[in-house]
Amino acid sequence: MLVVASISILLSILVWFNYSAVLPLIVEEWNLSGINAGIIFGAFQAGYLIAIIPAGVFVDRYSPRWIIAIGATTTGVAGLDFAIMATGFCHRPQ
């Protein structure tokens, strides 16, 4: 179980570095200014700050393994949604 939890946490942490790695591509694809790119990243951080307090309460109340599994799954789905909803994900717009 420790291996599964470790992999789940690793995959969740990768989301933190994902945006920074693809930032130049996102700025070019969406024609963003530096301020707009910062607002997107700030919104991600704000969502984290809002979610971390209830997550801590749930971990104290329920099994941490379920909370980690649900959190990692939600993070993965959100990351996929971000990629799928991006304009030109499958092909460049004409």
pLDDT confidence of residue 7: 74
Point out the residues of the chain with pLDDT beneath 70: 86-94
Q: With respect to residue 4, please indicate whether it lies within any of the assigned structural domains.
A: no
pLDDT confidence of residue 94: 56
Q: With respect to residue 93, please indicate whether it lies within any of the assigned structural domains.
A: no
CA 61 vs. chain centroid, Å, equals 24
pLDDT confidence of residue 86: 66
Structure tokens at 91: 């092909």
| Dihedral Cα 11, 15, 21, 24, nearest 10 deg | 150
Q: With respect to residue 94, please indicate whether it lies within any of the assigned structural domains.
A: no
Exposed, middle or buried, 72 (CB in 10 Å: 0-12/13-18/19+)? Answer: buried
Q: With respect to residue 90, please indicate whether it lies within any of the assigned structural domains.
A: no
The parent domain of residue 75 ranges over 11-85
Residue 8: how many CB atoms within 10 A of its CB? 19
* Residue 64 backbone zone (phi > 0: left; psi -120 to 50: alpha; other: beta): alpha
What's the predicted TM-score (pTM) here? 0.57
Task: Report the domain count for the chain.
Answer: 1
